[in-house]
């Protein structure tokens, strides 16, 4: 994987272990709607990596240019009615 062609690096989410989800590309925030809105001026790369930059447990994904909203996955227990954040 070659991240050197991307101009910016932004850690989107840090997992419960020692890995993180990092977005590489020409990145802007669009805070008119939410702090989770991201605009990619060109195609970017979403990487599952360790803080030292080595790759994590799954392949990188190409992310098309455009406006994206960063979501958080949760689990709902219908018996207790509790919502729990999912850790990657």
Quote the Cα angle for 48-53-59, to 5°.
30
Q: Each residue's pLDDT tens digit in the chain (88 positions)? A: 456 567 788 888 777 667 888 889 988 876 666 677 888 989 999 988 877 777 767 788 899 999 888 877 788 999 999 998 776 5
pLDDT at 14: 79
d(CA 22, CA 50): 9
Per domain, the residue ranges of the chain are: 8-85
Output the pTM of the full model. Answer: 0.69
CA pseudo-torsion sign 4, 1, 53, 43: positive
pLDDT of residue 21: 85
pLDDT score of 3:
60
**Residue 57: C-alpha distances to residues 5, 42, 48, 66, 83 (Å):** 22, 25, 7, 26, 26
């Amino acid at each position: 994987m070659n991240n050197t062609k991307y101009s910016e690096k932004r850690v989107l989410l840090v997992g419960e272990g020692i890995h993180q989800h990092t977005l590489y590309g020409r990145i802007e925030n669009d805070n008119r709607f939410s702090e989770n809105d991201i605009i990619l001026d060109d195609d970017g790369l979403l990487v599952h990596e360790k803080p030292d930059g080595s790759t994590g447990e799954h392949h990188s994904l190409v992310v098309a240019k455009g406006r994206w909203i960063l979501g958080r996955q949760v689990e709902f227990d219908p018996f207790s009615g509790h919502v729990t954040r999912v850790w990657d």
